[in-house]
Amino acid sequence: MQMLLTVLADSTPEDSEVVAGPLGFALWIFLIIAVVVLGFSLVKQLRKAEAAKAAGLYGDEPATTEQPTDGTTTGGTPTDETAGQQKTDG
């Protein structure tokens, strides 16, 4: 009886006996892979959203790669370089 009480009372393992084991290692690797997959998915979705914005799907004007030659931006306002210049008809 005394032996049974001693075994039940001392059920705490030593610090060197406590390890995560193969299941803990597998879970750690799974979490790392999940974060990498989520990161790639996020980048893919952000690229798709940027392409949709550039195509004008969100109500904006479609983005163009051409630069205007009249000194205005795409919004129609003069740029800093042409703001101080005035047309003079001679």
Q: Which residues touch 58 (CB under 8 Å, ≥6 apart)?
A: 52
Q: What pLDDT digit, counting tens, does each position of 14-68 carry?
A: 888 888 899 999 999 999 999 999 999 999 999 999 999 988 888 878 777 666 6
pLDDT digits (tens, 9 = 90+) for 71-81: 666 555 555 55
Whether residue 83 is predicted with pLDDT greater than 60 in this model: the reply is no
**How many Cβ atoms from other residues are within 10 Å of residue 17's Cβ?**
7
Which pLDDT does position 13 carry in this prediction?
80
Which pLDDT does position 48 carry in this prediction? 95
Task: Outline where the chain has alpha helix (H).
Answer: 2-9, 21-55, 80-83
**φ/ψ bin of 67: left (φ > 0), alpha (ψ from -120 to 50), beta (otherwise):** beta
